[in-house]
Chain A
Amino acid sequence: MEEITFEEIKRIQQGEKNLFDRVMLLYKEKVAGICFKYMRSAEEAADIAQEVFTQVYCNIGKFRFQSAFSTWIYRLAVNCCINRLKSLKRRSVINNAENTRDEGQYGVEKAADEGKPVDEELELKELKAIVMEELESFPPVERSLIILKDMEGFSCDEISAILKMPVGSVKSRSARTREKVRKNLIRKMGEKLGLS
């Protein structure tokens, strides 16, 4: 993925704010993806992404060039999502049932277009929804580990920088969390997953 250079960031810090459009162009999709996985609502994710970029713009002067710029932005995104989830308290405020249904329908149509078996695609969609629901019961750090490592594909070093956590802890905690997720899902979904 293309990264913005430190030279460009310095120019933004010195007042060349037009370059900020490039920051948005490069990072908006990834930031939106992270936000969506935390919030599970397209509208909410767009709002958080907007908040993230507003904070990036206002605080870009505080960037110290001690980490990759992307790491800094993703850390802001993760913090914003966790803060918003804390403030919402009850996830039922977000009406995500409607969103999930729409996405499921879209996924099935897409599968049919691509010639994949629709049953399999439906099952996968259902499983995805259950996984996301299960993740909601996890504490923010563990949820962040699964989202960043298993869903977004960040490396342990990157996650360590984003969450400000030692690399060893990232590895051990993500393995433990993954095991916990699987155990819970197998217990809950044994029949659906084909377990006797």
Chain B
Amino acid sequence: MDCREATDIILRFMPGEENLDAGVMEHISSCMACSEKLKAVLKITRAIGSADDFALPDDFEERVRRSIASTAEKKHGEGRRVFAYPLAAAAAVVFVIITLFNIRPAAIKQSGTVPAKKSNVTAVAAAPGRKVKSPGRTQENMPPRSVPATEKNTQQNDTVLASAIDEGGGKNDAVLSNTSALPASRSPAFQQPAQQPKTAVEADKRSGVSDASVKSGQTQEKMQAGAQVFGTIIHPSNNDTAQVKCSLTVPGQVRIVIYDRNGMIIKRVFSGEKPAGTFTVEWKGELDSGMTASNGIYIMYIKTEEFEQKIKLGVIK
């Protein structure tokens, strides 16, 4: 037997399951190189066979239960949300149908004219300084976003204008000069986006500061432990970030992770020890893999030795 044959057999040899035949053993006893190869194979086999295990964290079962609860809640929630308020759901469906199919019984009754065509609306809305609105999307079903005050006013005007045109059919001028002539049943819904925030809390909500931040913001002066989140809606394309300002009264371990709606961790924002005081961490809407998170709702889970907090964040690309 030569070294090549012996090496092939040694490389396939599985210690503990089989024995090397007499020919190979004889060759090994006379060949130093093959003998060393056999020793190396035995070492490698031992290294593979004694791979390390690790101990699960103490709260593993509790984590599984939480994950199961959130998954179950999500599954049931989707069904319940529609059926819990059947009247509201039915009203919403009717409203959408009316909006989409341009049905306006009230307008026909009042003016006795045929409802305005979509082309009219587009033509007026596309005038200079106006924003073109897609026919199928109304202010109600647009996703929330923060806009400057001037843009808000323009949008408000557009909305009132569009509704006025819708209500007035072909008589645009008369209706445009008197928006108060809109039917009471429709105008509040369209005017709602233009309402000014009544309270400081409401103002904070509109500017993207979460409830959690408002609550902890009240206690910040007393130097209590808590987290404050700025920017709950993230637009990764605009380099928006969610900033978490955490206050600790004692030094300790801090873990901030982002879960998706399935309860899976998609990003570990921070994990480590922090001294007492205030620190800020950011999430730009990216995943552990470096890719950008898809549109949707995510949960930021902040765990410190003093408090635990969950905050909903939205990503809109």
Establish whether residues B68 and A107, one from each chain, have CB atoms under 8 Å apart when the complex forms: no
| CA A90 to CA B33, docked complex, whole Å | 38
| CA A56 to CA B301, docked complex, whole Å | 24
Establish whether residues B64 and A54, one from each chain, have CB atoms under 8 Å apart when the complex forms: yes
Query: Can you list, as one digit per residue, whether each of A111-151 has a CB less than 8 Å from chain B (1) or not (0)?
Result: 00000000000001001101110000000000000100011
Flag whether B299 is at the interface (Cβ < 8 A).
no
Most buried by A among B33, B52, B71: B52
Flag whether B43 is at the interface (Cβ < 8 A).
yes
Which one, B11, B52, B265, B290, contacts A128 given CB within 8 A?
Answer: B52
The verdict on A37 contacting B51 (CB below 8 Å), with A47-B265, A54-B71, A194-B40 known, is yes
Flag whether A53 is at the interface (Cβ < 8 A).
yes
Establish whether residues A175 and B56, one from each chain, have CB atoms under 8 Å apart when the complex forms: no
| CA A36 to CA B56, docked complex, whole Å | 10
The verdict on A50 contacting B51 (CB below 8 Å), with A179-B11, A181-B44, A195-B37 known, is no
Across the interface, name the chain A residue whose C-beta is closest to B12: A179
Establish whether residues A49 and B56, one from each chain, have CB atoms under 8 Å apart when the complex forms: yes
Residues of chain A contacted by B56 (CB below 8 angstroms): 28-29, 32, 46, 49
In the complex, which range does the number of interface residues on chain A fall in? 35 or more
The verdict on A87 contacting B43 (CB below 8 Å), with A28-B60, A58-B68, A58-B71 known, is no
In the complex, which range does the number of interface residues on chain B fall in? 35 or more
Flag whether A1 is at the interface (Cβ < 8 A).
no
| CA A42 to CA B271, docked complex, whole Å | 14
Residues of chain A contacted by B265 (CB below 8 angstroms): 47
Query: Can you list, as one digit per residue, whether each of B244-257 has a CB less than 8 Å from chain A (1) or not (0)?
Result: 00000000000000
| CA A32 to CA B53, docked complex, whole Å | 8
Flag whether A97 is at the interface (Cβ < 8 A).
no
- 24 A-B residue pairings within 8 Å (CB atoms): A28-B56, A32-B53, A43-B271, A45-B54, A47-B265, A49-B56, A50-B63, A53-B64, A54-B263, A107-B52, A124-B46, A127-B47, A128-B47, A131-B47, A131-B48, A151-B48, A178-B12, A182-B44, A186-B40, A190-B40, A193-B39, A193-B43, A194-B40, A195-B37
